[in-house]
Structure 1
Amino acid sequence: MAFRDLYEILPPLVLPIGEKAYTVPFLGYAEAQRLEENVSTDSKAPPMPDPEYFRLMLGPVYDEMLADNVPYSALRLAAMTVQADHQRGRTVAQVLWEAGGDVSKASEVSQQILSSSVADAEPGPKPRKRTKAKTKES
């Protein structure tokens, strides 16, 4: 059995802004490492300036968006959506996009997904309720 192309299984993000759809490439290894170093809770790196963060998340699409004069709020949301897709998965990224960047709503959905995934992943049968054994005296 041959493996299907990864992009058939997990297609790149396509973010519609106005009348144009921007196809954002996946983060490369170097970009992913840089993101993780910057957002780590024990990171000593100063916060990344917005243009640098946008370029890191959006890659070559950032220049395309600048050329199209995409509003700052759309650039920010696009970058946040790419980060959510990378760190939390497509469903959370889509919720964040649809919520207009409302991180609390995306976090709530992320927690629901994680808790349902853990519950679904538990191996073996569900434990049966124990009943008291009957004794000869009863």
Structure 2
Amino acid sequence: MAFEALGELLDETLELPIAGRLYTVPAPSAEIGLRTQAIVHAAAVAADGGRVDDQVLGDAAERDLYAELLGPAHEQMVADGVPWPALKHAAITAMVWVAQDKAAAERYWNAAGDPSRLAPNRAARRQSGAASSTKSRGSTSGTSTRPAPDRAKPKGNKKRR
């Protein structure tokens, strides 16, 4: 068995619909991908109260990264007058794609970046049947669930010694 060409195995673009137009975001270079990973990691460290290099998370670095992540789609969005919130959402979606995967990027995009919309609420899980399909775990206490033998009935003709 031989390895197949990687380009044929990976879907290396994002198709993002904005205001009736479809923008194609190509996969970033390895350098941009690695820098994106570093920024995502630094943001997580900062969110946990850790100290981070300001250059890694600076506003200018963020703006440059947006343009680099979106590639030619960035120029098309700017030329088309796409509003900043939409461009930023597209760029962060691309960042999620690079840092995680396409499925996570799609969830982020469809949730409009709202964390509360990323995970379904309890009612939605019940309607989908997810809550009822989870089997309950058995007891881990080590006790048996078999009923105790009925001691009132005599057991045959066994003699005690």
Q: Which structure 1 residue ranges, 5 or more long, are not aligned?
A: 110-128, 133-138
Which position in structure 2 is the counterpart of 1:56?
68
Q: Contact 2:12–2:26 at 8 Å: present in 1 too?
A: no
Q: Contact 1:38–1:45 at 8 Å: present in 2 too?
A: no
Q: Distance in 1 between matches of 2:22 and 2:66?
A: 17
Which position in structure 1 is the counterpart of 2:26?
25
Measured after TM superposition, the shift of residue 64 of structure 1 is 1.1
> What root-mean-square deviation, in Å, do the aligned CA atoms of Structure 1 and Structure 2 show?
3.1
Q: Give TM-score, length-normalised by structure 2.
A: 0.58
Q: Distance in 2 between matches of 1:63 and 1:77?
A: 15
Q: Relative to structure 1, is the Cα distance of residues 86 and 8 closer, same or farther in structure 2, using a 3 angstrom cutoff?
A: same
Q: Relative to structure 1, is the Cα distance of residues 7 and 26 closer, same or farther in structure 2, using a 3 angstrom cutoff?
A: farther
Matched, 1:94 2:106: yes
Q: Distance in 1 between matches of 2:20 and 2:112?
A: 17
Q: 1:67 aligns with which of 79, 82, 105?
A: 79
Which residues of 2 match residues 112-131 of structure 1 at below 5 A? none
- Match of 1:24, SS? strand
Which position in structure 2 is the counterpart of 1:44?
53
The runs of at least 4 consecutive aligned structure 1 residues that moved more than 3 Å come to 103-106, 129-132
Q: Give TM-score, length-normalised by structure 1.
A: 0.66
Residue identity in the other structure for 1:48: D
Measured after TM superposition, the shift of residue 23 of structure 1 is 0.6
Q: In percent, how many aligned pairs have the same letter?
A: 29
Which position in structure 2 is the counterpart of 1:83?
95
Which position in structure 2 is the counterpart of 1:13?
14
Q: Relative to structure 1, is the Cα distance of residues 7 and 43 closer, same or farther in structure 2, using a 3 angstrom cutoff?
A: farther
Residue identity in the other structure for 1:63: E
Higher helix share: 1
Q: Relative to structure 1, is the Cα distance of residues 85 and 14 closer, same or farther in structure 2, using a 3 angstrom cutoff?
A: same
Q: Distance in 1 between matches of 2:36 and 2:103?
A: 20
Q: Relative to structure 1, is the Cα distance of residues 59 and 11 closer, same or farther in structure 2, using a 3 angstrom cutoff?
A: closer
Q: Which structure 2 residue ranges, 5 or more long, are not aligned?
A: 46-50, 121-139, 145-161
Q: Provide the aligned length of Structure 1 versus Structure 2.
A: 117
